[in-house]
């Protein structure tokens, strides 16, 4: 028998079993237990702001008063009460806004009072904040009286199950009290100091008096709501110490004050860093309408600006349902791009108007500026001409200034030095020939140079110990005469002498007549090998690995090298050629790499021996 296909056409409402909702809220909705304080105080503040708006709109002069929130711990009763003098609720409103989970009154209120500016600044969005109270309570009570004329005060009570009760109350003043009967593992919230710390963390900047046991516990005055023209340097420093006590003074700051195309206010500080890898100590506190959201605003700040400290307040942030972190959103990306732009603008302004101060700060901030340029092309294009490099000229220089100043001698090359102390003789030799050298000071610099080369195809960065510039070689003075006895030039002979004396097949040897007489030899390596060595050291966080790919450049213009040639031609009666060649090599090595313990011991013994022979003469 063939079964006829059943026709289905059903409509209806999805049923939610509320007995499962509160355990989920209690365990999973909020990232940490402390957040119940933030949620309940935010609701209290919303109630105060709503009453303020209504009292003006409806000319209720007797209700136009300063807002106040009280936190009242009671150890004897094991309760914590959060009390406000806001608009309160009727029995019907409790059943509408409290008993129906996730029914927020914010949207309805804004729609009703949308022509009032304050009406657009209500914090509540999801109607779930109140239920965070059950994370710390075995019983929650609401004692409330509405501002509406003739309203009966009521008391709501719930133990976290689906059952609740509403009874009449004898409360006389308009407002709401949330009474939390704390669970055994939440008695810490009875301590006055603990409550003050939580107020300071979550609600320090709400523009309403918040008291713990009758004592004011919040600041109420975030300077980001003021105009920059109203503030002085000491105001910014003082506020920094409010946000981050005992951190010392910041280097400089950026005041964000944006009304269009989005609403964004805040202060971002560049802190003084202990070292260039100290950037993870940055902290930007994120607020929504002056209510703390998180101290990890990584969605708003790009990674290279994580060194910043400060506060950002954006009332239109797309928060997740628990208001604990940001949702991914194009709006957030727009804010992030704007902050990057403001940082770039501030740096350019400092460079232009306070260059001496900018150069003073550069050592602290440059690793992160360079990192930002490598990761954000728009940021690179804005700040590329204000990047500074310390130079052998004695002053800092931009890349543009350096290339223009040295174009005639170096064309599009940039000479750099990784260790100006260790390679001081190389630097001096370059300076003698009018060649300017820039100095590397940061781990990131080798990567940054490669990045700049990718952006400037004609530009080439060359370390002073990776090749001998033609400007350092005196080719006219170099002897090219060939000895008829062995058919070799002086350079050929010196090459043979050093190869035989050093007996190192891996070591390449070149003989050049340098213009400088300050060094007897240079140990150089290929540029790509040097960069690989530097990057490997940075990634491994250890001493640079050895790749054994060096070339010894022997300076035939140095008196010691000339003496070696003379001794060799005289058949070296005292056997000094070999130790002198080794000495030239060791001196060159000291400017390039560390000598091993055995090598250093040999160098010291040989030095003493050679000096002893000299003193006997």
Instruction: Record the tokens describing residue 233, joined without a space.
Output: 């340097």
Nearest in space to 187 (alpha carbons), one of 31, 74, 83, 82: 74
CA–CA separation, 601 vs 34, rounded Å?
Answer: 63
pLDDT of residue 543: 53
Tokens of 1: 């028998």
Q: Which residue do the tokens 């506020």 mark?
A: 239
- Residue 260 CB burial class (10 angstroms; 0-12, 13-18, ≥19): exposed
Instruction: Name 161's Cβ contacts closer than 8 Å, sequence gap at least 6.
Output: 19, 22
- At residue 240, the pLDDT reads 93
What CATH topology corresponds to 223-358?
Answer: Ribosomal Protein S5; domain 2 (3.30.230)
Which residue do the tokens 């994370």 mark?
135
Largest separation between any pair of C-alpha atoms in the chain: 126
Note whether 300 and 234 are within 8 A (CB). Answer: no
Report whether 309 contacts 271 (CB < 8 A): yes
Whether residue 312 contacts residue 277, with contact meaning beta carbons closer than 8 Å, is answered with no
Q: What is the pLDDT of residue 27?
A: 53
Angstrom distance (rounded) from CA 105 to CA 87: 13
Q: What is the pLDDT of residue 322?
A: 39
Give the tokens for residue 477: 């003075």
DSSP 595: P
Q: Token pair of 81, please?
A: 């009460």
> Which pair of tokens denotes residue 431?
């300076």
| Burial (0-12, 13-18, 19+ Cβ within 10 Å), 535 | middle
Q: Which residue has the tokens 């005992």?
A: 246
Six-digit token string for 65:
């008063």
**Secondary structure (3-state) at 161:** coil
Q: How high is the pLDDT of residue 324?
A: 45
* CATH 3.30.230.80 location in the chain: 223-358
pLDDT of residue 130: 83
Task: Of 459, 461, 415, 460, give the one whose Cα is nearest residue 436.
Answer: 415
- Give the integer Cα–Cα distance in Å for 264 and 313: 6
Given a cut of 50, the residues of the chain with pLDDT beneath it are: 1, 3, 5-6, 10-17, 28-29, 102-110, 113, 116-127, 320-325, 327, 617
Query: Residue 337 half-sphere exposure, CB side, CA atoms within 13 Å?
Result: 10
Query: CA 388 to CA 441: how far, in whole Å?
Result: 11
| CA-to-CA separations, 267 to 135, 194, 244, 292, 347, in angstroms, rounded | 34, 27, 13, 15, 15
Sequence-separated (6 or more) residues with CB below 8 Å from residue 228: 255, 257
DSSP letters for 198-221? HHHHHHTT-SSEEEETTEE-----
Angle at 284 between CA 282 and CA 285, to 5 degrees: 140
Instruction: Determine the topology of domain 18-216 in CATH.
Output: Heat Shock Protein 90 (3.30.565)
Q: Which CATH superfamily is domain 478-522+548-616 in?
A: Heat shock protein 90, C-terminal domain (1.20.120.790)
The DSSP code for 473 is B
439-473: per-residue pLDDT in tens? 988 888 888 988 999 998 888 998 888 877 777 88
CA torsion sign for 391, 395, 399, 401 is negative
Q: Please state, as a whole number, how many other Cβ atoms lie within 10 Å of the Cβ of residue 384.
A: 15
Rounded to 5°, angle at Cα 37 from 32 and 41: 140
Give ranges for CATH 3.30.565.10 in the chain. Answer: 18-216
DSSP string across 133-155: GGGTEEEEEEEEE-SSTTPPPEE
Is residue 210 within 8 Å of residue 216, measured between CB atoms? yes
Rg of the chain (C-alpha set)? 37
CA-to-CA separations, 56 to 52, 123, 206, in angstroms, rounded: 6, 20, 20
pLDDT digits (tens, 9 = 90+) for 520-538: 998 888 887 777 777 665 5
Question: Comparing C-alpha atoms, which of 78, 285, 291 is closest to residue 190?
Answer: 78
CA distance 229 to 218: 25
Give the integer Cα–Cα distance in Å for 285 and 201.
Answer: 10
Element at 331 (helix H, strand E): helix 330-353
How many CA within 13 A on the CB side of residue 457?
0
Buried b (16+ CB within 10 A) or exposed e, 170-196: ebeebbbbbbbbbbeebeebbeeebbb
Find out whether 169 and 159 touch, Cβ atoms under 8 Å. Answer: no
| Measured distance CA(171)–CA(297) in Å, rounded | 42
Looking at the chain, which residues constitute the CATH 1.20.120.790 domain(s)?
Answer: 478-522+548-616
């Amino acid at each position: 028998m063939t079964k006829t296909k059943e026709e289905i056409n059903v409509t209806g409402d999805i049923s939610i079993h509320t007995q499962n909702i509160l355990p989920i809220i209690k365990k999973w909705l909020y990232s940490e237990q402390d957040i119940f304080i933030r949620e309940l105080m935010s609701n209290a503040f919303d109630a105060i702001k709503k009453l303020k708006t209504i009292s003006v709109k409806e000319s209720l002069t007797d209700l136009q008063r300063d807002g106040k929130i009280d936190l009242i711990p009671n150890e004897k009763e094991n309760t914590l009460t959060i009390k406000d003098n806001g608009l309160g609720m009727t029995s019907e409103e409790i059943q509408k806004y409290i008993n129906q989970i996730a029914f927020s009154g914010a949207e309805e209120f804004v729609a009703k009072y949308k022509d009032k500016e304050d009406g657009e600044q209500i914090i509540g969005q999801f109607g779930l904040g109140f239920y965070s109270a059950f994370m710390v309570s075995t019983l929650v009570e609401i004692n409330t009286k509405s501002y509406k004329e003739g309203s009966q005060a009521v008391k709501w009570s719930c133990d976290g199950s689906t059952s609740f009760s509403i009874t009449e109350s004898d409360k006389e003043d308009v407002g709401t009290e949330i009474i939390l009967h704390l669970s055994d593992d939440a008695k810490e919230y009875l301590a006055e100091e603990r409550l003050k710390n939580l107020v300071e963390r979550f609600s320090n900047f709400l523009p309403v008096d918040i008291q713990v046991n009758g004592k004011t516990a919040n600041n109420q005055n975030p300077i980001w709501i003021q105009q920059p023209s109203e503030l002085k340097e000491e105001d910014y420093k003082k506020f920094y110490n409010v946000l981050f006590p005992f951190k010392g003074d910041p280097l400089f700051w950026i005041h964000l004050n944006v009304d269009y195309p989005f609403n964004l206010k805040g202060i971002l500080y560049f802190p003084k860093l202990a070292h260039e890898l100290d950037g993870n100590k940055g902290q930007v506190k994120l607020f929504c309408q002056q209510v703390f959201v998180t101290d990890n605003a990584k969605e708003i700040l790009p990674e290279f600006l994580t060194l910043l400290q400060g506060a950002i307040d954006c009332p239109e942030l797309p928060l997740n349902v628990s208001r604990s972190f940001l949702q991914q959103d194009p709006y957030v990306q727009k804010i992030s791009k704007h902050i990057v732009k403001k940082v770039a603008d501030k740096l350019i302004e400092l460079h232009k108007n306070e260059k001496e101060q900018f150069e003073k700060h550069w050592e602290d901030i440059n690793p992160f500026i360079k990192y930002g340029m490598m990761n954000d092309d728009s940021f690179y294009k804005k700040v590329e001409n204000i990047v500074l490099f310390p130079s052998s000229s004695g002053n800092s220089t931009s890349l543009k200034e350096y290339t223009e100043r040295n174009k005639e001698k170096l064309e599009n090359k940039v000479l750099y030095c990784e260790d100006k102390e260790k390679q001081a003789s190389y630097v001096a030799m370059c300076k003698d020939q009018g060649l300017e050298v820039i100095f590397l000071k940061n781990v990131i610099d080798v990567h940054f140079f490669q990045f700049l080369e990718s952006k400037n195809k004609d530009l080439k960065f060359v370390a002073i110990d990776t090749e001998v510039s033609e400007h350092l070689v005196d080719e006219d003075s170099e002897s090219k005469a060939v000895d008829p006895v062995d058919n070799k030039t002086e350079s050929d002979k010196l090459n043979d002498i050093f190869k035989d004396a050093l007996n190192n097949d891996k070591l390449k040897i070149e003989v050049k007549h340098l213009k400088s007489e300050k060094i007897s030899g240079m140990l150089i390596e290929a540029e790509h090998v040097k960069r690989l060595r530097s990057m490997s050291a940075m990634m491994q966080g250890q001493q640079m690995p050895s790749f054994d790919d060096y070339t010894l450049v022997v300076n035939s213009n140095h008196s010691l090298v000339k003496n070696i040639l003379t001794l060799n031609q005289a058949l070296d009666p005292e056997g000094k050629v070999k130790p002198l060649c080794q000495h030239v090599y060791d001196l060159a090595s000291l400017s390039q790499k560390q000598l091993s313990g055995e090598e250093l011991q040999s160098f010291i013994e040989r030095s003493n021996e050679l000096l002893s022979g000299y003193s006997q003469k």
